[in-house]
Amino acid sequence: MITADDRKAAIAVLEQAQFVFALSRYPKKQVLDDPRDVRALRERLEAMREAARGLRAAQRMKLDVPWEQLDDLDSGSEAVWKAAKKVTPKILAELTPLVSDQPEAAFLIAPVPARRRKGQPEPPAPKAEVQSRAPKTKPKTGLTGSEIAGLEMAIQQRAAADDAFFTWLRRSDDLPLVEWRRRRAQAANARRAEDAYLEKLLKARSRGR
């Protein structure tokens, strides 16, 4: 039986996990060679660890998640990468179903498909090949891995909010007016968040960081 506090803690963990998962999809060397990306990963993983403490011990034990790996983050960048690649996908897969009926779930990355978790620690070969060639032509002023991951997350949240809103509009007799207002506000907030993130990136580019 999952409690309201468990759901609240699970959502807090998942909000951090989606950023970690997005950044960990890039090649290991590309991420670990950039101190800013390593710092971003560590900070998000530490936030995941702290939020996970809000889960009851009994609930944590039910989940197939190697929580202990989140305690090794201070041992170096390799431990940070291992936690990002090994722990985060399991957290997404195990915790997302527990909060699937919550409004916040519309903004979360879907659980990792099982076929991606069977002996494939790195992304599929075609994507890896494209990324491995990128440094040859990538401008020095290009986005960092953490910036790209943040942009992906902002776009996904906006798309999820829009989809939730327009899905309801197609079934306008299913929910009361107050729910329509709430969903419209969520969609508007997500669009503003995406615009704000893009504006932040543009300002960073214009200053040359």
pLDDT of residue 45: 93
Angle (deg, nearest 10), helices 145-169 and 4-24: 130
Q: With H, G, I as helix, E, B as strand and everything else as coil, classify residue 121.
A: coil
For 150-162, the pLDDT digits (tens) are 777 777 777 777 7
For 3-17, the pLDDT digits (tens) are 889 989 988 898 888
For 162-208, the pLDDT digits (tens) are 777 666 666 655 667 777 777 778 778 877 877 777 777 667 666 65
For 87-117, the pLDDT digits (tens) are 999 998 898 888 887 776 666 665 544 444 4
Backbone angles phi and psi of 52, in degrees to 5: -65, -20
Every domain of the chain and the residues it spans: 1-134, 139-209
* pTM, entire model: 0.56
pLDDT of residue 51: 92
